[in-house]
Amino acid sequence: MLTDDNSDPGGDTARLRLVHASPDAPAVDVTAESTGDVLYDGVAYGESGYVEVPANDYTVQVRGDTEGDDGDVVADFDVNLAGGQVYTAFAAGYLSPDDEPADTPFDLVVAQDTEQTTDRTPRPSEGTPLHPSGRPARFRAARERPDSPRWWSTVIYCLCNLFPFFTLDMDYRQL
């Protein structure tokens, strides 16, 4: 279960959470290609964490964890992070898919956790469950472990606390 921080990071800032969900990958460092800035240091399988960055387009590099945060780049991914928004990036799949129970290569799946709102944003209809903040209740689930049975290892995270426990039947990489 992941605990969200969907508070407003500010108009020119984005908040990005990394979830390490790649069972055969060691702990990783994640850096911004253009600046070399270290966004995450030593994130192990099953761990997650947030970082705030200026809103921008980034190429992020995933590296094996080293003391100097300068390990070999395993993969790089382009991400667009808008100001005032919160995102979760799932590092999922396998570094060596041919040697694993599921033939699923390593990838980064980015989900936007907050919504850009406008005057045209639909208002909740009568009877819609609301979060204590008065906003509509939201729920998101992701199955990011490729070798898990459909019912067993679904990573579920709630964007509010209104839902009791229940089971989902999801395909891998379904969000």
Q: What pLDDT shows up at residue 79?
A: 96
Q: What pLDDT shows up at residue 158?
A: 39
Q: What pLDDT shows up at residue 40?
A: 97
Q: What pLDDT shows up at residue 69?
A: 92
Q: Counting Cβ atoms within 10 Å, is residue 61 exposed (0-12), middle (13-18) or buried (19+)? A: buried
Chain center to CA of 43: 13
* CATH 3.40.50 corresponds to the domain 13-115+128-158: no
pLDDT in tens, the chain (175 residues): 778 888 999 999 999 999 998 888 999 999 999 999 999 999 999 999 999 999 999 999 999 999 999 999 999 999 999 999 999 999 988 888 787 677 788 899 898 988 755 444 444 455 555 445 555 555 555 555 555 554 443 344 433 444 444 444 445 444 5
Q: What pLDDT shows up at residue 164?
A: 41
Q: What pLDDT shows up at residue 166?
A: 41
Give me the long-range contacts of 56-61 (CB less than 8 A, separation at least 24).
56/81, 57/81, 58/32, 58/33, 58/34, 59/32, 59/33, 59/34, 60/30, 60/31, 60/32, 60/33, 60/89, 60/108, 61/30, 61/31, 61/32, 61/33
User: Amino acid identity, residue 72?
Assistant: D
Q: What angle do CA 103, 104, 110 make, to 5 degrees?
A: 175
Tens digits of residue pLDDT in 85-99: 999 999 988 888 787
